Structure 1
């Protein structure tokens, strides 16, 4: 009877363990699936934003001499084509011509009235006084001035003047250039072909739509991952004191934490995006505008930040990058592995110095929680600096209007990493 009771008890224990493992395995599978989708979408989002920022880079916009030349050329050319002399301008022109003609007559008269030494000059002076009456010349100035103004404003003359002005301006414009137009053309051609569009407006619209959809979806997957982890915690808290369920429950919980760590470390945690939204310059009565100019863009994961630091030539940057990988990524994985070994393996392995140290004492070197605070402080500081600097670029005058925007934000990877830290803290109790 006692044996049968013991058998039934063992059977119930095994069934409860299998049921727990099955439930936890289903939750872990779901969490892993959501994590994989989050990683994939995050990488896709980063690529889309890289392409978007490249196509709309300020290097190819406000900082491009070629683009300024083209925009200014269009304005000046249009002004030349539409040029017409107004009635007021004709009056001013006639008055100026009259003034010049009167001045010329006075100069000629003064020249002949000077004392002449040679016989020829004296004869010229005598003939001038006999044949020319300065007063009559002055009286004829208005009619001559009107004839000149009419000739200048003749359609044929205006057309010829416009042609000369256009030619001279185009020659000057051709001397102003840099290599950005060629580079932008190649980049745009590649990106348009990649995304199957034919204009920058269509390109921007397409990518903005995709990015908006991906952003919503990534947060859904992130919250779904955390939901699975929360469900595991809900099982852990009431069942952790049951001796027969403790080991499988703890081991499965470690796998949940491992999944959160891997995704949190490889998915983007912070995105820095600063843009010049609009720049409007009023010139020659026309509006010269630049829109959606990307000043700076970067999106990095914890692993990506470490890689960037390691690739720097400075020893201190390399050291910091290595420390991040060791104390934020490698050490937590080793600790979780050691805790699993301590529960599953026999005493010679479970109780050796390395396993015990990693399981019970290495926690003080685990910097994941410090990383969470560090990332948050970095975001707050960086966001504040960008807001201040971009605010200084905002101007509004009669001739110039500029508007900047700051899209810097924490990304789903940060939320997942925070979830990992919280889960590991709960598993420590």
Structure 2
């Protein structure tokens, strides 16, 4: 009887070991998927942030509406087009002829008056005598219309007009060359470097390439985020299935901690919010031609929780530094310590597991954990920024017969926020399960 009981215990122990192994292997597959998805999400998020930053740099309003060079090119193009398209109409020819006739009549009258007035000296008197003998002012006045017509035909001929156009164009080109921005060289170097990085040679090709690439990356990052949450959901399902298998709870809890660690590490390092405000178009008329500026980035930033903390710490203001330190301590470091302490409490022997520090971090430090507060803070920031940007950008929207402007706000929450919310939710669940596991163990 004793031997049979002993064999039963051995069989039960073997079954328990097998159950633990199967649990570890099955959840290990999903755990590997979680970490792989988190890694891909991290790398793709960094890539997206870099590409979006490059896009914002090239399309920055500094390189557009605020660029003297761009204004010069647009104005020069319009003026050159007007010069090349210049033609004298018949009405204008008539006005020119009338003006020339007026000037010629005035000139004849002036010359006649000067010569026929009383003269001194023999030479001047001879000129006056010759003028009266051979020149009839009335005949000169009669010939003025034919002279004026000849002059108009000469100056409005195709050859003369083209020569005038060339002179005006050359003068305009010289003036344009003398008009430039002090940052021209720097802007050229930046854009040249970015164009070469993405194997394009102009802004239009650059924008098309980047927009396509960003669209593809966004789809993939969300897929990895959902895949990551799906893997974590399998751990939650395992708890539901094995809720009565108390002998597996310790192992299941340790595996769950590893899932939580993956969520936390990804959630704090992947971009959580992207602020993108743009002047989508600015149009106005100049000399009858439409001048257009499109896709001008007013402001762009993309940050993770860790990135926000680092930026705040780098600020010169003490209050900003304090907030940055608080974020890193209570949103990143403390949750990691809590996960570690819970693992130690479940795995180690009583002297370590029941240590005051370990127990405090595992059970009582939740009141200092600000991850859930950070979620609310991110949401409030997103709502607040959207409201502010909407208010400010709406003031830039104008539409009348001379000027039309349109703005757009592309601010959005990023996959990192979804993962971080997933961590906070899963952490609450683990806190609840820790108490149950501890009670059942006792």
Both proteins in one fold, TM over 0.5: yes
1:306 shift after superposition: 0.8
Corresponding residue of 1:87: 90
Change (3 A) 1:285 1:265: same
Is 1:62–1:290's contact at 8 Å kept on the other side of the alignment? yes
Is 1:60–1:180's contact at 8 Å kept on the other side of the alignment? no
Query: Aligned Cα RMSD in Å?
Result: 2.6
> Between Structure 1 and Structure 2, how many residues are aligned?
428
1:193 shift after superposition: 2.3
Q: 2:259 aligns with which of 252, 256, 260?
A: 256
Residue 221 in 1 paired to residue 224 in 2? Answer: yes
Question: SS where residue 428 of structure 1 aligns?
Answer: helix
Residue 315 in 1 paired to residue 324 in 2? Answer: no
**Pairs within 5 Å for 1:10-409:** 10-104=13-107, 138-240=141-243, 242-409=245-412
Structure 1 stretch displaced more, 252-261 or 68-77:
68-77
Structure 1: give runs of 5+ residues left out of the alignment. none
1:257 shift after superposition: 0.8
Question: SS where residue 373 of structure 1 aligns?
Answer: helix
1:233 shift after superposition: 1.0
- Aligned-partner Cα distance in 2 for 1:138–1:319: 93
Question: SS where residue 380 of structure 1 aligns?
Answer: helix
Question: SS where residue 393 of structure 1 aligns?
Answer: coil
- Aligned-partner Cα distance in 1 for 2:264–2:317: 28
Is 1:42–1:218's contact at 8 Å kept on the other side of the alignment? yes
Corresponding residue of 1:428: 431
1:376 shift after superposition: 0.9
TM-score relative to the length of structure 2: 0.88
- Aligned-partner Cα distance in 1 for 2:174–2:45: 49
1:161 shift after superposition: 2.0
Deviations 1:175-195 (A, max 9, x none): 211144423332232223222
Question: SS where residue 213 of structure 1 aligns?
Answer: helix
Question: SS where residue 395 of structure 2 aligns?
Answer: helix
- Aligned-partner Cα distance in 2 for 1:337–1:380: 34
Question: SS where residue 285 of structure 2 aligns?
Answer: strand
